[in-house]
Amino acid sequence: MTKISPATRTWFITGTSSGFGRLLTERLLARGDRVAATVRKPEALAGLKADYGDRLWIASLDVTDTEAMRRTVDKAFHDLGRIDVIVSNAGYGLFGAAEELGDDQIRDLINTNLIGSIQLIRAVLPHLRKQGSGRILQISSEGGQMAYPGFSLYHATKWGIEGFVESARQEVAPFGIAFTIVEPGPTRTNFAAGLVSAEPTVTYENTPVGDLRRAFAEGRFEVKGDPEKMVEAMIASVEQDPAPRRLTFGAAAYASISSALQARLAELEDQRDIALSMDFDR
């Protein structure tokens, strides 16, 4: 892997009011880059705008509004001329057993985490093709490779966007566009504060869902991930060629993903004979 010399870049980042989006915006502006930041409430970035002026381009955006997304992306490229890196970051978590979840909760999460991310990527691709290059960082999670009980819909969105990216990366590689999927483990951001929870039911009280619910309530769910280190690694990844396909962040993420992949591979090997026997006999 070759390291590219750092240069001033222009970034487009969704979900910049807090968490990874906010930290990325702060770091990039501090190092001299330009940032097109989208946020539901632009006043959340007022302090940064006062400090950095024209290097911070701000737009109000709800990523579930596809037409607004396309208009915002088009305007950002028009106003800034060129955008080097897209960070698809907007999203949140939903906790509850699958049958505890409400229909609206399911619909809202899929519209934000999955469809919103897909439509952002679709909106930027024509512009990146035209300029002949671009890097897209898709913020996923360790939950795009493994699964906790109680997060079925969250995992559905993360596994879904990772599948989308795996396919899309092959489609657009000839145009100089590359993807990196970012998979943090439990991290000290405001993810927990934004977590939406289903109404608990007695049915799941003495199940793994109930155990995890109590661990959250009692502060026993350990969170060691350092978001500042992760943000620096995301920025550094853009200086690598070829682009890393995935970035796994945190000891917990490494352990959980490694365990899940090894178990899946072992299961695949266990049914190798039956798999190979399913073709037509010659």
**One-letter amino acid for residue 187 of the chain:** T
Indicate the length of the chain as a whole number: 282
Long-range residue pairs from 43-51, CB within 8 A, at least 24 positions apart, any chain: 44/16, 44/17, 44/18, 45/16, 45/17
Please identify which residue in the block is written with the tokens 């266990």.
270
- Mind telling me the catalytic residues? 140, 154, 158
How far apart are the C-alpha atoms of 168 and 245, rounded to whole Å? 12
- Reduced to 3 states (helix: H, G, I; strand: E, B; else coil), residue 147 is coil
How far apart are the C-alpha atoms of 56 and 53, rounded to whole Å? 6
**One-letter amino acid for residue 174 of the chain:** P
